[in-house]
Structure 1
């Protein structure tokens, strides 16, 4: 009888939580929206590049309130919000705007598991847009600015037994401030989309020992046949030892160790397997911190043996290379937006789906356009074999300034505060993604959007991460720095400039539109660079452009980016509809011509 009563109470609590949430609004949604469990939201481990066995997910229903800037912590709330979906999204259950005159407050309680009592407790945020202040039990534990990167606080001194109170306050001016914000604007139209404010990635707790591994920085070198692993340890002593094991499946294939805070250089077997889109092989890593004879901390990770570079071919054309072989890199412009979750995919299956379809379409690359994804997205690219070109999200301008800059070729003059913030956030993005093998190209500027001090920024990026290529300004004001000249042309591919010293790439083209009436964000103001009315027409136009691209590859293009993976809000030029319900092209025909393009330099 007692067990039945407990089960009844649990079921009643679950029903009560579910009754407090439903998707807001009546716009289109993905099929995954119906699979969300408010008691188990995005339950997958959020940091796959450095994994520990114990953690606690804090996603779920929180209290929220929207108050004018400067108000004190609320004593009552506007309702419930489903974390980690942005307050403007349908899946948050709220779908309200915040704006720069207001602040968004979050509140919940949590209990630390009793078996964590001898550990430090870290509070992690995957991403919060833009400025976050955090309190635990009314004690300020930290502040963070930057909408695209993870951050954490050691909250151990603020904790108490039993229930703990967690409060987060967020301010986000969207396009009213200088901060990077990608395609978000307060007045969505055309290529500009709905704001994303507040928590939009997983919030979680993690127990760690007194001395622990804070980060791992993994650098493969196929020419020297080594993997360098730098373990960043809090409060490390010279005598602390870091031990690295490299595994292929269950077999240990290489080991290495270091002291004095030196990177561990692991010599790989002579037949080390190289990662590529055709063979995305990953080595598992085990990184252990040893103090004396005692194992203090241990994390799991992974890496790949791969190399991104450029080289002049026998016709004198500078080509992009993977693993010292010419490879034409070809993929879609991927904005990573969702009709129900905006910046946040409804489920991990949904997050992986876009990458899987990109592979199905025959591409070998994705340009992640003015957005940074949750860590698991990059893991999916690592596992499936997709090269990533990573954009810096733009900021510090209005759309009117952008177009003025683009046509006049004038670099933006930023305030010292704006410039310092750009550098801070760009460095944090590189640090965040450094160890993910699929990331092959950094793109600090798109077109002329907020472009400033290009030579200086590019040279810093190259120096900070010499293991990757740098695309200085995709389609932007062109300076002879970095590894490539990047042109944009819509709708058809065209080479109107050529660089004999760097790789010449087509960073955007295409934009073939089809407004599929059952799958639109809005019924009216939809657009594409060219418009058609059927899958056959779209596919015919796509293949026509692809055949033109083949000729331009022979003339000098070394990569190309097709716009785009999915429709986004009123843009209807996706290979799929915004809700991912319809593939808008003949997949077989597109895959065939795409594979021909990807393999064109190998024939």
Structure 2
């Protein structure tokens, strides 16, 4: 590749890394920074007296927010205010729109523009958009946001956010704005959403695009796919409806070895650049850039298959919290976590009880990690909780649809929110319903119906077991017969693994939570499933558990695992690294145990021979 081509590729990657919507990139402007702030129960913006300033996008419970006093748990209502002065280039003409995007506001948000109500959104983990064109045409304008977050509401999809003071495996709550706020100017007729779906059998990418409005006569869309500077596919299509499906056949070399150069895997994270251009009567009205990837996911013969090849999953649990900023990260921190996982030998992460920023998922796409994505749980079973879970899940499915790293959806974890599922048919139906909804909307990925136990329906058979003795772990999961006996004889976690006769059958068995060993120095307190007091003992214990899990894969008892966990998270100190991301044990020994191979200092990130040397992450 020439220096110019490398520069072009790096520029595309940098743009994707910093853009809050990596697959649909246009010029944008961040509104992050200091906003006026008040914690008060006012219902209208004119009744608010702003008493402080807050650093957006950090939650008020974090030190990064800049607030001098911690937010009391009894506070439920927060107000934010800022003033936006559009540049001449940002002021929308009559045929243009200025869109205001909120990455996430926990839990419910009301947006006011110049004191007038503009939009409402519920759901603390997903983005939403407000049209502020009319105000922007008048000059500088004011944005106010009211966020309501009742921590005692157990019907709210909250994930690991505690409803009281942090304890055990639950963490400080997050309220208000906690992800970036930004604007972009678009033509009235623009590409509102874009989803890329790979079809490996046909060696093609399928673009599913939705326009903001029904097309005018003469509307066309051009879609290009690139491998660096090389054009792989280029199609120009007459647009006849607001929703369109456009297949793009890629040049198929036919031979597997040559084909593999185009395919995405964690150890060969191949991304293809994309550009979509919308025109009306030959006038370009919108152009976006992004990326896509070719890969397939399936389960067969008790194996997890990636691109039709058995691909044992060696994952770590990722909570996604930082000591100073809570759930809010940035590009440097996202990249750091992904590289930490790869240095430790893992080829995947389970995003546990949190919906990550799409920029984090971009780094998993680019640097190579397979992802399981949890829906943050509610803890009550009510019509309201199921409605909220379903709405949030639908938004998550759309948000992550084009990311090749996402391979498994997890709508329920350990029956959280389904407390009486062994006895209550309605709760069993809820598990079936979200499984069926997920499979209906996305047949290209697998679904773990209720991860860990009390499974009614699932594409994978998952188990959670925090036994601290490596030999016992191997005895339980080292062969197919051992797994079947363990399921029947011993219920890990004290719960029945499958309900109504649900058994592994042809599904891959995944030990999707195990380990959990904490290193807590003498004289300090910390929570974990097993506690050791020095680093040598820690490395030995964890190495033994990882080696046992690897031997269980070789013995065909399981076809993957997820170690708890990548980093410490507040009082839960069972990470392989501290909350500061510094590894606790010997990285070479641990990564070798994860991979079941000798450590190669020339390949510390465990990439394939084909990929090695093509990138400098």
| 2:372 match | 389
Deviation at 1:290, TM superposition (A): 2.0
Count, aligned residues: 529
| Deviation string, structure 1 residues 352-411 (Cα, Å, up to 9, x no partner) | 1011110111110100000011110000000001000000001143xxxxxxxxxxxxxx
Structure 1: gaps of 5 or more residues: 1-41, 313-317, 398-413, 518-522
CA distance in 2, matches of 1:175, 1:568: 22
| Deviation string, structure 1 residues 330-372 (Cα, Å, up to 9, x no partner) | 1110000111101112x32112101111011111010000001
Q: SS at the partner of 2:265?
A: coil
Deviation at 1:524, TM superposition (A): 4.8
| 2:510 match | 505
Deviation at 1:186, TM superposition (A): 3.0
| 1:374 match | 357
2:413 to 446, 452, 467: 446
CA distance in 1, matches of 2:76, 2:228: 51
CA distance in 2, matches of 1:49, 1:515: 42
CA distance in 2, matches of 1:200, 1:588: 35
Q: Residue 162 of structure 2 contacts residue 172 of structure 2 at CA under 8 Å; is this kept in 1? A: yes
- Cα distance 1:135–1:295, how it changes in 2: closer, same or farther (>3 A)? same
| 1:219 match | 197
Deviation at 1:83, TM superposition (A): 0.2
1:265 to 247, 271, 283: 247
Q: Kindly indicate whether residue 274 of structure 2 is the aligned counterpart of residue 285 of structure 1.
A: yes
Q: Residue 242 of structure 1 contacts residue 264 of structure 1 at CA under 8 Å; is this kept in 2? A: no
| Deviation string, structure 1 residues 205-228 (Cα, Å, up to 9, x no partner) | 110001011110110111111100
Q: SS at the partner of 2:583?
A: coil
Q: Residue 246 of structure 1 contacts residue 286 of structure 1 at CA under 8 Å; is this kept in 2? A: yes
Q: SS at the partner of 2:335?
A: helix
| Deviation string, structure 1 residues 50-93 (Cα, Å, up to 9, x no partner) | 101x2111000001000126465445322110000001111001
Q: Residue 136 of structure 1 contacts residue 159 of structure 1 at CA under 8 Å; is this kept in 2? A: no
| Deviation string, structure 1 residues 252-298 (Cα, Å, up to 9, x no partner) | 11122433332110001113510111210100000111222222111
CA distance in 1, matches of 2:76, 2:333: 32
CA distance in 2, matches of 1:158, 1:76: 23
Q: Residue 568 of structure 2 contacts residue 576 of structure 2 at CA under 8 Å; is this kept in 1? A: yes
1:420 to 384, 387, 404: 387
| Deviation string, structure 1 residues 146-193 (Cα, Å, up to 9, x no partner) | 111111011112335442111000001134242111111132111111
CA distance in 2, matches of 1:234, 1:598: 53
Q: Kindly indicate whether residue 528 of structure 2 is the aligned counterpart of residue 528 of structure 1.
A: yes
Q: Residue 388 of structure 1 contacts residue 441 of structure 1 at CA under 8 Å; is this kept in 2? A: yes
Q: Residue 100 of structure 1 contacts residue 172 of structure 1 at CA under 8 Å; is this kept in 2? A: no
Q: Residue 311 of structure 1 contacts residue 321 of structure 1 at CA under 8 Å; is this kept in 2? A: yes
2:168 to 184, 190, 211: 190
Deviation at 1:138, TM superposition (A): 1.3
| 2:463 match | 487
Q: Residue 109 of structure 2 contacts residue 121 of structure 2 at CA under 8 Å; is this kept in 1? A: yes
Q: Residue 445 of structure 1 contacts residue 476 of structure 1 at CA under 8 Å; is this kept in 2? A: no
Q: Could you tell which deviates more after superposition, 158-167 or 287-296? A: 158-167
Q: Kindly indicate whether residue 366 of structure 2 is the aligned counterpart of residue 348 of structure 1.
A: no
- CA-based RMSD of the aligned residues comes to 2.1
Q: Could you tell which deviates more after superposition, 100-109 or 202-211? A: 100-109
Deviation at 1:597, TM superposition (A): 7.5
Q: Residue 175 of structure 1 contacts residue 395 of structure 1 at CA under 8 Å; is this kept in 2? A: no
- Cα distance 1:238–1:472, how it changes in 2: closer, same or farther (>3 A)? farther
Deviation at 1:417, TM superposition (A): 2.4
| Deviation string, structure 1 residues 301-341 (Cα, Å, up to 9, x no partner) | 101111111121xxxxx100000000101111000011110
Deviation at 1:491, TM superposition (A): 3.2
Q: Residue 220 of structure 1 contacts residue 227 of structure 1 at CA under 8 Å; is this kept in 2? A: yes
Deviation at 1:538, TM superposition (A): 1.1
- Cα distance 1:598–1:395, how it changes in 2: closer, same or farther (>3 A)? farther
Q: Could you tell which deviates more after superposition, 351-360 or 171-180? A: 171-180
CA distance in 2, matches of 1:274, 1:505: 24
| 2:99 match | 122
| 1:88 match | 61
Q: Residue 264 of structure 2 contacts residue 294 of structure 2 at CA under 8 Å; is this kept in 1? A: yes
| 1:294 match | 283
| 1:76 match | 49
Q: Aligned ranges for residues 447-486 of structure 1 at < 5 Å?
A: 447-451=414-418, 452=427, 453-479=430-456, 481-486=457-462
Q: Aligned ranges for residues 202-281 of structure 1 at < 5 Å?
A: 202-237=180-215, 239=217, 240-258=219-237, 259-260=239-240, 261-271=243-253, 272=259, 273-281=262-270
CA distance in 2, matches of 1:311, 1:166: 52
CA distance in 2, matches of 1:583, 1:485: 31
| Deviation string, structure 1 residues 540-592 (Cα, Å, up to 9, x no partner) | 11121122213322242111000001111111110111122x31010001111
- TM-score normalised per structure 2: 0.82
Q: Residue 328 of structure 1 contacts residue 598 of structure 1 at CA under 8 Å; is this kept in 2? A: no
Structure 2: gaps of 5 or more residues: 1-15, 254-258, 419-426, 478-485, 488-502, 600-607, 609-617
Q: Residue 110 of structure 1 contacts residue 165 of structure 1 at CA under 8 Å; is this kept in 2? A: yes
Q: Residue 516 of structure 1 contacts residue 577 of structure 1 at CA under 8 Å; is this kept in 2? A: no
